């Protein structure tokens, strides 16, 4: 059903797939490893945690993000939000008005 058979390798052996589905059965992430390579559980847990954080807080996790690291705040949607961000009122650590980080 999820394409776990790799027909170019075998017609009855699965590749080492990891599917992360949300509560609505929507696939949120797929990791595919070759038959010869085992899965790396700490990365799977990091990915699951990142998905939970981004869903709950409506933020993004940057490359190499680990739990406890700052997250990326979405860009402002209105001019008023932009002014608040530029003034430092929101307390974010900003590289520029469109790229700000915060701790959650």
Q: pLDDT for 39-91, tens place per residue?
A: 999 999 999 999 999 999 999 999 999 999 999 999 999 999 999 999 999 99
CA distance 89 to 99: 15
Provide the pLDDT for residue 33: 85
The two structure tokens encoding residue 38: 């085992």
Structure pTM? 0.81
Q: How many CB atoms lie within 10 A of CB 77?
A: 8
The two structure tokens encoding residue 91: 């307390």
């Amino acid at each position: 059903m999820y394409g776990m058979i790799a027909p170019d390798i075998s017609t009855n052996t699965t590749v080492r797939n990891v599917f992360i589905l949300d509560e609505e059965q929507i696939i949120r992430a797929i990791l595919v490893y070759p038959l010869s390579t085992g899965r790396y559980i700490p990365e799977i847990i990091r990915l699951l945690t990142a998905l939970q954080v981004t869903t709950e807080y409506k933020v993004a996790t940057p490359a190499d993000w680990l739990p406890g690291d700052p997250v990326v705040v979405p860009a402002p949607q209105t001019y008023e939000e932009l002014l608040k961000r530029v003034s430092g009122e929101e307390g974010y650590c900003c590289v520029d008005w469109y790229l700000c980080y915060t701790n959650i």
